[in-house]
Amino acid sequence: STIDSQRGILRNHIAPALGSVRVDAIRTKHFGRLKRAMSAKKPELSGKTINNALTVLLCMVKFWYEREGLMAPRFKAGLIKLDEVEAEFYEPAEYEQLVNAAADVGPDVHALVLLMGDAGLRQGEVCALHWDDIRHEPEPVLRLKRSRYKNEDQPGTKGRKPRTVPMTPRLVAALQALPRNRRQEHVFLRRGDLPLTAKAVQYRLAKAETRAGIDGTGLSHKLRHTFATRLVAQGVPLWVIKELLGHKDLTTTQRYLHMIIGAASQAIASLSPGASSRAQSLTSSHGTAHGTMMAPPPGQT
C-alpha cells in the first residue's frame, strides 16, 4: 500500500509539476514549485497530502545521489506545519459495551473486535490471519507475519518484521469459539469461503457499533488506538507498546502519551496548602507509572 501510494504521488503530482526537470537539477526552488502547484489544485488538497509529496520528492532525489555515489545538495523541502490530530478511541466503558454487543452480533464479530481492541492488530493483519498464526504453547500468542492488501496476502506486516502479541483470556476464548473446517487456512471468511476484505471488516464493526448504540462508521483503526491508549493509561512502557503495535519508530507511539490522564491536575493540586501529605501517595500511584512509561528497554540506559 505504501508503494502504491508513492507511485500515485509521483504520477499525479510530482511528474506533472516537475517531470521535465533533471534529477541533478532539482533544488529547493523546485520543492516550492511542487507545493504551489498542489496548493492550487481543486478540490483542495490537505496539508498532509502535500507534505507526503514533498517527502517523496526529497527521498527520490537523495536516493539518486546516493546511487551515483555523489554528495546530495542541501534541500529545504518546506513542509507545511500541521496541527497534531489526536487519535480517536473508545472510552473504557464504551469499549466494553462494544465488546458485549459484538458477541451478540456473532462469534466472528466478537473475535474481530477483540483482535483489534485487545491485541492491537491492523485491519490487514486481521484479514490475513491464519489458524497456524495462533499459538497456545508455551503461552497463548499471535504470531503476525503477513498482511492482506488488494485481496492478496502480502509477506510481512506494515512494520516489515514479524511480531508476537500475547492474547487475553477472552480473546483466546473468542477464537476457540469460531467455526473451522480442516481445509480452512484463514481464520475469517466471507461469503464464498473467501478471506475478509477491508469493506467486510468495516461492515461487521459498524453492525457491532449500531448494536451497542455507538455512533460510528466501523473504522477499525479506532479499536487499535483504543488498545494503545488502554496500555498507556496502565503505565506500560512506551517501548513495550511500540513492539506490540509493530511501530518502526518510537515517535509514532508517543502520540498516545496524552492518555497519561491526571498528571497536570495532580501537579497543580500539589501547590495547595496541605498538599505535602498527599504528595507521597501521588508519587506512588502516578509518578512511578510515569517513570516506568518513559524508561528505556533493558540494556538501553
Q: How many CA atoms lie within 13 Å of 36's alpha carbon, on the beta-carbon side?
A: 7
Give the alpha-carbon dihedral of 7, 8, 11, 17, to 10 degrees: -110
User: How does pLDDT run across 148-168, given as a tens digit for each residue?
Assistant: 877 777 776 766 678 899 999
Q: What is the pLDDT of residues 267-296, one digit of tens each?
A: 677 677 765 554 454 444 444 444 455 555
Distances (CA, A) of 3 to 7, 9, 155, 285, 292: 6, 10, 14, 46, 37
How far apart, in whole angstroms, are the C-alpha atoms of residue 167 and residue 164?
Answer: 10
Pairing of strands 141-144, 134-135: antiparallel
241-252 confidence digits (pLDDT tens): 889 988 888 887
- The whole model's pTM is what? 0.75
Between the alpha carbon of residue 103 and those of residues 112, 150, 181, the distances in Å are 10, 28, 21
The torsion defined by the Cα of 43, 47, 52 and 57, in degrees rounded to 10, comes to 90
Is pLDDT of 73 > 70?
A: yes
Task: Tell me the average pLDDT across 168-184.
Answer: 90
> What is the number of residues in the chain?
301
